[in-house]
Amino acid sequence: MRRKIVAGNWKMNGSKDLVNSLVGQVRSGLASLDNGVEAVIIPPALFVGDVVRQAGDQIAVGVQNIACWDSGAYTGEISAGMAKDSGCDYSLVGHSERRQLFGETDDEVTVKVVKALASGLDAIICVGETLDQREAGKAEDVVSAQVRKAVADVGGGQWQQVVVAYEPVWAIGTGKTATAEDAQAMHGTIRGVLKSLGAPAEEISLLYGGSVKPDNAVALFAQPDIDGGLIGGASLSAEDFMSICRAMPGKS
């Protein structure tokens, strides 16, 4: 059965005060929710320990990025093993901001997925096309290639640790969302790619990200191949984050 996931990527936002106020509110909100949603909080790495301590069993925790290496002289980097050791369950890999602002390459994404899975983290692999690529009619090709490359070294028994998040770059932080139909179409394509690679595609959760808000989450989550969301700005408000969690239908 595919997991239904709502993950909040705080990016470089938040503070200890936000951790202290938000995590408890999300925790009590989830206690009265029975739609089977798994909530994940992905704060800046410095706050992971604080979130883990307050999250209880109901909230999973993730990091926004991991290194390509296990340990060593890589100043400023954090390994997948360290994230796991600190209580993380997930790592984002290949977020478009990492790719665009920090020059993260497809090859590095492939390695980071391997490192995450080997350390026992679930990898939320982020893919998505730019506006130019969409307008040139290349969105499907770009996203399909990103997916193929990212999972190139995933082993047979590791697929249950893989989650794919489709985040069109033009929809991130812009207030523009893909229509539910366009998002569904791309999710169908991604599932098809995973199937063609021999993965148990029907079991893999596919998230949509890019300006997801309480008022558009219902239509997005109603789509058959959209199993949840990767939320940026709206995840910094406990109220909005919980509204988005509540937008998940009780589908299996």
Tokens of 200: 């148990």
Choice between 6 and 193, CB closer to ligand 13P: 6
Tell whether 10 is in a known binding site: yes
CB of 93 or CB of 201, closer to ligand 13P: 93
Instruction: Kindly report the three-state secondary structure assignment for every residue of 93-139.
Output: ECCHHHHHHCCCCHHHHHHHHHHHHHCCCEEEEEECCCHHHHHCCCH
Instruction: For Cα atoms 176, 207, 92, give the angle at the middle one, nearest 5 degrees.
Output: 100
- Find the residue with minimal CB distance to ligand 13P: 232
Residue closer to ligand 13P (CB basis): 29 or 94: 94
Q: Which residue among the candidates 38, 104, 129, 167 is catalytic per the annotation?
A: 167
Least distance from C-beta 70 to ligand 13P, angstroms? 25
C-alpha angle 159-163-169 in degrees, rounded to nearest 5 = 140
Tell me whether residue 159 is annotated as binding.
no
Q: Please indicate if the annotation marks 11 as binding a ligand.
A: yes
In the residue annotation, 95 being an active-site residue is answered as yes
Question: Under the rule (CB under 6 A), what is the footprint of ligand 13P?
Answer: 9, 95, 167, 172-173, 209-212, 230-234
Active-site residue, selected from the candidate residues 95, 97, 104, 129: 95
Q: Is 228 annotated as a binding residue?
A: no
CA angle, 232 then 249 then 44, to 5°: 20
d(CA 112, CA 176): 29
Q: In whole angstroms, give the CA distance from residue 70 to residue 130.
A: 31
CB of 80 or CB of 230, closer to ligand 13P:
230
Active site residue 187: no
Known binding residues for substrate: 9-11, 173, 211, 232-233
Active site residues: 95, 167
